[in-house]
Every structure is written in structure tokens, then in C-alpha cells.
């Protein structure tokens, strides 16, 4: 799963089957938050797939994951900004450090509960 994910990286995924796009969007979330928190996820390209991840999460990892991402996305306002530059400008202009840190902690707690990688791998076959 990860090898195929890395192969696509930031490339256009629109030609992939929707199930694969959804899985990769969830992997974007996990990868970016693990490497730099929700700040990094929203600030860079990973957050470009947040809406796809939000749609995918209930079926792939459960409602707790979807609620977490929905809460995180709400910091960006409605409608959710699709451009990484717009999201970065919002992060730079606002005082989100405490809220983002709390969201990071929530994700790490969800990750610790079970074998999330194994669950996602099961969806990739």
C-alpha cells in the first residue's frame, strides 16, 4: 500500500479509481499529521485532499476519525479553502497553535488504539 502511495505522491490522482483516491487521501492525512501536525497538513499539499478524506473516513476508520478531521477543517472556515496558499495564509494570520496541538493529540490517541495501518491495508486489496 505505501509503495503505491509513495509512487503517486503529489501527482494528479483523478485517473485512479475512487476507492484508491479515498484511501490515499486518508494516507495523506496520517502522513502529514505524523510528520508535522495538522499545521503541516493544512499548510501543504496534503490538505488538498481533506474533503476526500472526510468522505472516506467513516467507512475506512470510523466516525471518530471523521469527527476529528471535520473539527480540524472547521478551523479553516466554510467553505474549506482548497488552495494550500490560502490555508497557509489563514494559519499565519490566526492564533491556531493551541487548537492544532489539541487536534494533533486527538489523532495520536486514535492512532494508538488499534492497528490503523493494518485496517487501511485491508482496504487496499
Answer whether residue 109 is part of any domain: yes
Question: Exposed e or buried b for every residue in 7-19, given b needs 16+ CB within 10 A?
Answer: eeeeeebeeeeee
Whole-model pTM: value is 0.88
Could you tell me if 32 and 42 are in contact, meaning their C-beta atoms sit under 8 angstroms apart?
no
Domain-embedded: residue 1: no
Running DSSP on this structure, what letter comes out for residue 44? S
In the predicted model, what is the mean pLDDT of the chain?
A: 90
Q: Is residue 4 part of a domain?
A: no
Residue 35 lies in a domain: yes
Helix (H) or strand (E) holding 33: helix 18-43
Mean pLDDT value of segment 4-9: 64
Domain that holds residue 115: 17-124
- Please state, in angstroms and rounded to a whole number, the distance separating the CA atoms of residues 123 and 119: 7
Q: How far apart are CA 100 and CA 23, in angstroms?
A: 23
* Domain membership flag for residue 27: yes
In a domain, 85, yes or no: yes
Angle between helices 18-43 and 63-74 (to 10 degrees): 40
Structurally, the chain folds into a number of domains equal to 1
Q: What is the pLDDT of residues 39-95, one digit of tens each?
A: 999 999 999 999 999 999 999 999 999 999 999 999 999 999 999 999 999 999 999
Is 3 among the domain residues? no
Residue 90 in domain: yes
Amino acid at each position: 500500500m505505501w509503495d503505491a502511495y509513495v509512487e503517486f505522491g503529489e501527482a494528479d490522482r483523478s485517473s485512479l479509481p475512487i476507492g484508491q483516491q479515498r484511501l490515499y487521501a486518508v494516507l495523506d492525512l496520517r502522513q502529514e499529521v505524523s510528520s508535522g501536525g495538522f499545521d503541516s497538513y493544512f499548510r501543504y499539499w496534503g490538505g488538498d485532499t481533506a474533503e476526500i478524506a472526510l468522505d472516506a473516513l467513516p467507512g475506512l476508520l470510523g466516525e471518530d476519525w471523521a469527527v476529528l478531521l471535520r473539527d480540524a477543517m472547521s478551523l479553516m472556515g466554510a467553505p474549506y479553502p482548497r488552495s494550500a496558499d490560502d490555508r497557509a495564509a489563514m494559519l499565519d494570520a490566526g492564533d491556531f497553535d493551541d487548537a492544532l496541538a489539541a487536534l494533533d493529540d486527538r489523532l495520536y490517541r486514535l492512532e494508538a488504539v488499534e492497528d490503523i495501518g493494518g485496517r487501511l491495508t485491508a482496504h487496499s486489496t
